[in-house]
Structure 1
Amino acid sequence: MKIILVRHGEAENASSTISDSQRDLTDKGVSDIHKIGKFIKNSSLAVKQVYYSPYTRTKHTAEILSEELKYSCEMLPSDDLLAGKGCTDIISCLVNFTNSDTVLLVGHNPDITYFAAKLLGNSSAAENLIFQPGSTIAINVAREKFAHGQIIWAISPDNLGI
């Protein structure tokens, strides 16, 4: 199966008046996610399901991606993608898809980085994966193992001139 991991776009700074879970995207974050959405849309991958962490910034990221992808199905919030959860519990949802399906997950760092390394079957790969806000990686991995996957792409919005 193809798993597209996206770190939420650049978010507002934390403050005493806004909880971490309520921080929204900055204007740059919104612009960057539109770029990433266009990039994914122009790829050969057709997203079957979108899951996102129920934080404001990840939900907003998923909404922008869905708009760019013309994704019309329901996006699903998942507590498995909350900051600090590590993302691996989402596998219990992913086993219901086929190896030809593509699923998009919107989450937080460093969880997205560690999950990507797990899917690649190499925990030390996390040291070489840089997930700036809005970055994405697509991994082709067998749903029977969820390990030893191959990178399809890895890109930051700063590298896109779209």
Structure 2
Amino acid sequence: MKIILMRHGQAEDETRPDSARQLTDFGQQQAARTAQYITANYTLDYLVVSPYTRAQQTLAQLQSRAIDVPVKIQNNITPADDAHTALATLATIDAECLVVVCHMSIVAYIASLLTGDSPESFALAEARIFEMEFVMTGMATEIDRFVPIQP
């Protein structure tokens, strides 16, 4: 199985509540580039996204390229959530190639749980691809990553 962890693209300044922040035009471009890379190289069968606006907008770039792939909004993958709880929820999803669109710092902590390595920050709209037999702490290997052009 593969889990692709993706951070949202560049978001506007904090003039709105964090959950309502939108992608900038550049953030939309970043998300589109990463979505293009993911869909060109992997066959997706399930998409999971944070309820926050900027993550939803990032996911929309994937959905435009993977039209029939089911989507689930997962409420426990927002910036302040617990990575252990989030990973336990992700482990219940039956998928061969699962994409998770969320935020720093939870995305870095989920990645570190998958591999057993120390957390490493994700760039904006970065995607990292992990392969494993089953979802369990320390059982994954990072096999690929893509970072779109940064500001």
Q: Give structure 1 regions of 4+ aligned residues with deviation exceeding 3 angstroms.
A: none
Q: 2:38 aligns with which of 37, 40, 45?
A: 40
Counting matched residue pairs gives: 149
1:80, 1:88 within 8 Å by CA — same for their partners in 2? no
2:23, 2:57 within 8 Å by CA — same for their partners in 1? yes
Q: Deviations over 1:134-159 (max 9, x none)?
A: 01101002325342311111221028
What's the TM-score, normalizing by structure 2?
Answer: 0.90
Q: 2:105 aligns with which of 100, 106, 110?
A: 110
Q: Offset of 1:120 from its aligned partner?
A: 0.6
What is the match of residue 24 of structure 1? Answer: 22
Percent identity for Structure 1 against Structure 2:
23
Matches within 5 A, 1:73-152: 73-90=69-86, 91-97=88-94, 101-122=96-117, 124=118, 126=119, 129-143=120-134, 145-152=136-143
2:132, 2:140 within 8 Å by CA — same for their partners in 1? yes
Letter in 2 for 1:21: S
2:48, 2:101 within 8 Å by CA — same for their partners in 1? yes
Q: 2:68 aligns with which of 43, 66, 72?
A: 72
Q: 2:60 aligns with which of 52, 58, 63?
A: 63
- Looking at structure 1, the residues matched to 64 and 91 of structure 2 have their Cα atoms a distance apart, in angstroms, of 22
- Looking at structure 1, the residues matched to 31 and 134 of structure 2 have their Cα atoms a distance apart, in angstroms, of 27
Change (3 A) 1:117 1:93: closer
SS of 1:36's partner is: helix
SS of 2:98's partner is: strand
SS of 2:54's partner is: helix
Larger Rg: 1
Greater share of helix: 1
